[in-house]
Amino acid sequence: MKIKALFLLAVALLAGLPSFSQAKKWSLEECIEFAMKKNISIQLSMLDEKLAKVDRKDAIGAYLPSATAQASHSWNVGLNQNITTGLLENQTTQFTSAGLNVGVDIYNGMQNYHRARRASLSIIAAQYRLTKMREDVALNVANAYLQILFNKENLKVQQQQLEIDRQQQARVQDLVDAGSVPAGDLLDVKATVATDLQKTIQAENALLISKLSLAQLMQLENFQDFDTEDSDYPLDTTGIMNESPSTIYEKARNERTEVKIAKADVEVAERDILLAKGAFQPRLQGFYSFNTRAAYADRIVDYQQSVSTPFRPIGTVGSTGELVFTENFVPILGRPESIWRQFDDNKGHSFGLSLNIPILNGLAVRNNVERRKIALDRSKITLTQEEVNLETNVYTAYTDAQGAQKAYEAAIAMSEAREGALNYARERYEVGLINIFDLNQAQTLSVNAKSEVLRTKYDYIFRMKILEFYFGVPIYNKQ
């Protein structure tokens, strides 16, 4: 049985090996989707949206009546007036009281209405801010993703150049052994190979750092094995460069989130002014109150003539001075009435209307309205500034995209020329017309030209992404 168990465990471990050896390759869409769920800035913006919704619930709740209930029970210990006999006695008495108060706003200068409208506008503004944060994160993820692709391609170039120089070293070694070239050429080639190896290591480190940067941007916990797909993105599939900057700006002005945020802030500021002005107007409230009470003292149930003093004097006859007596009755005490009976007997109601008319409050309301007007002017200026910034950004992005396109085309032409020059230099070196130093120079220039092609290519792709972003084209197509 032990052998069988060990065999099953070994099979399970072997079956699980491929899942560990094959790391997941993340696409750009997957990276952005993951960042949308995990990014801290997005999570904070989502909390702001939830808080705005809670504020709207407060505004809706202001329409509802206010109701409070109260109850109390007290003990009075010591010298107290007997509520039955009216005499001061050392005793302990208990009392219970309960009540209910209800109030409702009938008119308060439309403040509840304006508060509810403002809360709805605040939710819209919070949603715009959340959208803006998601767009910014998506753009940052795309930039970091393209940086990884560039570092991957650059690493391939450095590795290929290292392999070419190693082959060159082998050929020079044969030439040195044959006595065709001096031994110094071999040393130069070895130095070139060492330099290539150093550049390869630097390219590997740059790739690793770029992967870590994207993984941290995504808030990915297990980022040690993080890697991206080896995909090649087309340079221009939307034809965005066929559009004029003014056309892109006009569409961006109607579509961009930062402008929508500024417009929503203006509407909120306008509603704040109406809300502040509502404090100038009278406030009419309706109210209703209910209360009742109960005592735990003995109660008078009947009267009887006193046995010890059946009569008591009440005065004298004026002419004779003779005392006048009357029967002396004393109360008969019984147990307290039931609590619920007392509550029913002692209940009371009150209701009515309350009108408050503001006359003078130290100019507080007027100053608050002035502050709201200043806030509105600030919001309008911010909206204008956002539109100006957007126009500047669009024209800058368009110019950058044009420049990146031309730089990429120039880099391709230079790389092709450097590649031709390198082949020509190799031919000349083979026949002894140039030395190894000149050949190494040609190789270095060719490698640099290839790296420049990669750099300008991915810079051009990112510049196009930004321009498409302003035109309303999403960073990726969400399925």
Rounded-to-integer distance, Cα 468 and Cα 398, Å:
10
Between strands 227-228 and 25-26, the pairing is parallel
Give me the pLDDT at residue 274, please. 93
Q: Residue 234, Cβ neighbours under 10 Å: how many?
A: 8
pLDDT by residue, tens only, the chain of 479 residues: 443 443 343 334 334 434 334 567 888 889 999 999 988 899 999 999 999 999 999 999 989 999 999 999 888 776 766 655 566 666 677 888 999 999 999 998 899 999 999 999 999 999 999 999 998 999 899 889 888 988 888 898 888 888 888 887 888 788 788 777 788 878 888 888 898 899 899 999 999 999 999 988 888 877 778 888 877 666 765 678 888 889 999 988 888 899 999 999 999 999 999 999 998 999 999 999 999 988 876 666 666 777 777 777 777 777 777 777 777 776 666 667 778 888 888 889 999 999 999 888 888 999 999 999 999 999 999 999 999 999 999 999 999 989 998 999 999 999 999 989 988 988 887 777 888 778 888 888 888 898 888 889 888 888 888 888 888 877 765 44
3-state secondary structure of 396: helix
Give me the pLDDT at residue 475, please. 72
470 close to 256: Cβ distance less than 8 angstroms: yes
| Extended beta strands in 3-65, E state | 25-26
Give me the pLDDT at residue 17, please. 39
Rounded-to-integer distance, Cα 399 and Cα 452, Å:
20
C-alpha separations of 363 from 112, 325, 358 in Å: 22, 73, 11
Q: Where are the domains of the chain?
A: 299-334
CA-nearest of 136, 124, 122 to 40 is 136
Q: Name 426's Cβ contacts closer than 8 Å, sequence gap at least 6.
A: 439, 442
Exposed / middle / buried, residue 80 (Cβ in 10 Å: 0-12, 13-18, 19+): middle
Between strands 227-228 and 66-81, the pairing is unpaired
Give me the pLDDT at residue 20, please. 38
How many C-alpha atoms does 296 have within 13 Å on its Cβ side? Answer: 11
Rounded-to-integer distance, Cα 121 and Cα 272, Å:
11
Sheet holding 66-81, edge to edge: 66-81, 88-107, 283-295, 348-356
